[in-house]
Copies of this chain bind each other. A is one copy, B any other.
Amino acid sequence: MSGDRRVRRTRRLVQQALVELILEKGYDAVTVTDIIARADVGRSTFYAHFTDKQDVLFSNLGELAFLHRLPAAREAEELFAFSRPMFEHVREQERLVRALLGRRSGGLVQARGEELLAAVVRDELVAAGARPSPGLDLLVVCVVGAFMGLMRAWVDGETGASPAELDAAFRAAVTPGVRVALRPDEAPRPPHAGAGSVPTHACAEPTAVGD
């Protein structure tokens, strides 16, 4: 079904070459000429399979589609069930993800990842009882921003934390805020919130900062 063996071979070589080169020079610095040289593939052959550099990048994106195969959070008890498996998965596919999601990538995949993740987070929150609203969307943006921030920092080697620690940090940072948002009866929050005060104590959660 995958057609010719030569085709598979060529595509694989090109994709691998791009990943290697991104890790070495950063996405922007990689040229098509570099890629075909590293992949040992003719120029015309490259353009027979891909339109440009970005096309190769996205063709590698199937790996990230595993988001959809995550345990359905509606059935799980905890929110953001994607977090831990995600960090674990990233550690396994380290090279690829480092190339695709790190600051060395062009930020293109980053944006795509944020979109996918935003959909997941939004679904989870709605399933948990949040009412769809502009305010919810902003919350989703914050949650996704926090997660992707951690991911970037990790992938770029700015922290040596383990997946478990990252997962814990993520949850510790966002869960309290989300809990508050999920309780519309306690602190009725019309979208017209003033910049003032937020309900002080949500509920003490584990993981103090300085351990």
Q: A106-B107, A145-B149 are in contact. Are A191 and B173 (CB under 8 A)?
A: no
Complex interface residues of chain A between 126 and 146 (CB less than 8 A to chain B): 128-139, 141-146
- A189 interface residue per 8 A CB criterion: yes
In the assembled complex, the Cα of A159 lies from the Cα of B204 at a distance in Å of 32
Q: A142-B149, A145-B150, A195-B164 are in contact. Are A208 and B172 (CB under 8 A)?
A: no
A142, B138: Cβ atoms closer than 8 Å = no
Q: When the two chains form the complex, which single residue of B28, B161, B197 contacts A138, counting CB atoms closer than 8 Å?
A: B161
CB distance from A135 to the nearest CB of B (A): 5
- A166 interface residue per 8 A CB criterion: yes
- A153 interface residue per 8 A CB criterion: yes
Known A173-B181, A182-B209; 7 more pairs at CB < 8 Å:
A106-B107, A128-B209, A129-B207, A134-B159, A142-B146, A183-B204, A187-B206
Residues of A within 8 A of B (CB): 28, 77-79, 84, 103, 106-107, 110-111, 114, 128-139, 141-150, 152-153, 158-161, 164-195, 197-211
